[in-house]
Structure 1
Amino acid sequence: MEAYFKSEYLKIKHTFIGKLIFLAPIFTILCTLALEPTYFQINMYNWWYSMLLPGMVSLLCTLVAVKDNKMKNMAVLSLPVDLKKVWISKILVCMLMIVIASIIHLFGVVVIGNVLPFQNPEGRIPITSSALGSLVLIITFLWQVPLCLFLGSKVGMFPTILINIVAYELGAVIFSLKKVLWLIPYAIPARLMCPIVKILPNGLPAVPGSKRFEPELLSHSVILPGIIITLVLFVILTILTAKWYEGQEAK
């Protein structure tokens, strides 16, 4: 498995994909500093999970998918390799890229956020909450990796990016604060950020007086179910898409 992973990683090491994991969090940092530095830490998270992270995941996975797809996967299918392991390696590489980008984002939140002297106290996030928030976002976004890889292979880059981002935005904005959120996995990350980093999906602090705030939104009881649902979905999608990819060998 290690050889498969190294092979997939080498394919993207010196490409735009490798730069994307730095560009996305750095762009988030610069935009936040330029537009709303007094609420730097809160906006770093809100803009990250509402726009930049879903966009990065969509673009990252489709770029990985179409790299072999340009040659109709002939470079892979012509070799004596285990196609399931090839697919899982693609997923693992994308996961690694997401983790690295999230660490850079977390570094910016903690370091720059604690250096800025003019931050509003309501916009500050404790280091432990920031670390937990980043970890939970990584976990709850993982299921999108096999999905976007599959869609990227089937329908191409731009339809996949459009489908995934629109679905995420609708889920986060419309369903994240409703009871049906457990049926909409796209809504889970935004909902879990309410008790962890105290941010509402609309970007406001999760405090009394903010629009759409309710005390029950700060309950930590939603965190474990949200993590379990998204992890189970990740496993299911990984198994199904790996079987699909393996089936190409017979075509």
Structure 2
Amino acid sequence: MKSANETSRVWKRPGFGSLLRAEALKSRHAAPGRLAVILALPFPLAALAIAILIPPIGLIFAPWNYWYALLMPVTISLVTASVANLDARMGNRVLLSSGVALPRAWNAKVLWCLGLSSLSNLIVFALYALGAVLSGDATGTLSMLAAALAVTVASSWMIPATLFLTMRAGLLTGIFLPLALQLVLDFAWSAVPFWPAFPPTATIMLPTAFLPVLPSGEPASAGMALAESVSDVGLVATALVVSAVFTALLSLAGARWLARSEELR
């Protein structure tokens, strides 16, 4: 007979940190990590090159706007769908045979994808911070960091939405439906009546509270009505809270669906 200690070792569930490490290991030689890094580089590198090669122009923020308006949503969609598809390609055998409660596995996937999204945005921030230092004006570095964190939170709803749709309806649906919604509400920002209530629109509006760039990509300057309106502390806080709550609700719904789902079995 097995001792009590042996039995406890056999049935001990892996901790949440172990689940995150497992997601990282699955992605180590796959697309998610590489995509999160490579796709974050083009626009900030372009801005950095302009700041170094054409000093009179200095550091411009339109490329950062192009990042969070266009390429960041594409990156989140591709990275998250790739993470979901890693299990699907193996017939979900690893997920089902791990002995881990499926909602905990889901939460690990959400947090891993959120970590990769954070990595992308921190790469953009780091390159812009370097550009600011090389341009001789690093006073806005903290505002840049705040912008990077704000767009990470505002766009985080795409992660559980993409995970669910990829696992439920397939890779193409998982990629394109959340991406289309994000891009439509991105580019229709001026038609949205109360932008803090809509995380996809908040994604393109929030950075204007921290960076000298309008949602349209044009430079913002002191005294501009739109820039001052977006910078209202109450609106910024509302947008961040709504985005975080919306992501949490989508994550909870996804975890409950996975726990009851027969699709994976």
User: TM tier, shorter chain?
Assistant: 0.7 to 0.9
Quick one: percent identity of the two aligned structures? 22
- How far apart, CA to CA, are the structure 2 residues paired with 1:109 and 1:214? 20
- How far apart, CA to CA, are the structure 2 residues paired with 1:134 and 1:125? 16
- How far apart, CA to CA, are the structure 2 residues paired with 1:162 and 1:93? 21
Task: Give the drift of 1:150.
Answer: 0.8
Gaps of 5+ in 2: 1-15
Task: Give the drift of 1:125.
Answer: 7.7
Contact 2:156 2:247 in 1 (8 A): yes
Which deviates the most, 238-247 or 200-209? 200-209
Is the aligned partner of 1:74 residue 2:93?
A: yes
- How far apart, CA to CA, are the structure 1 residues paired with 2:20 and 2:207? 32
Of the three residues 214, 217, 241, the one matched with 1:228 is: 241
- How far apart, CA to CA, are the structure 2 residues paired with 1:94 and 1:87? 11
- How far apart, CA to CA, are the structure 1 residues paired with 2:131 and 2:228? 30
Larger RCO (CA within 8 A; separation ≥ 6): 1
Contact 2:164 2:174 in 1 (8 A): no
Q: Which consecutive segments of 4 or more residues in structure 1 shift more than 6 A?
A: 34-37
Is the aligned partner of 1:238 residue 2:257?
A: no
TM-score (norm 1): 0.86
**Residue 201 (structure 1) aligns with:** 215
Which deviates the most, 57-66 or 191-200? 191-200
Contact 1:207 1:213 in 2 (8 A): no
Question: SS of the counterpart of 1:197?
Answer: coil
- How far apart, CA to CA, are the structure 2 residues paired with 1:175 and 1:238? 25
**Residue 78 (structure 2) aligns with:** 59
The structure that has the greater radius of gyration is 2
Structure 2 counterparts to residues 1-251 of structure 1, below 5 A:
1-32=16-47, 38=57, 40-116=59-135, 126-175=140-189, 178-207=192-221, 213=226, 215-248=228-261
Contact 1:87 1:245 in 2 (8 A): yes
Task: Give the drift of 1:96.
Answer: 1.3
As a proportion of its length, which structure holds more helix? 1
The code of the aligned residue for 2:242 comes to I
RMSD: 2.7
- How far apart, CA to CA, are the structure 2 residues paired with 1:55 and 1:46? 14
Task: Give the drift of 1:224.
Answer: 0.3
Gaps of 5+ in 1: none
Task: Give the drift of 1:165.
Answer: 2.5
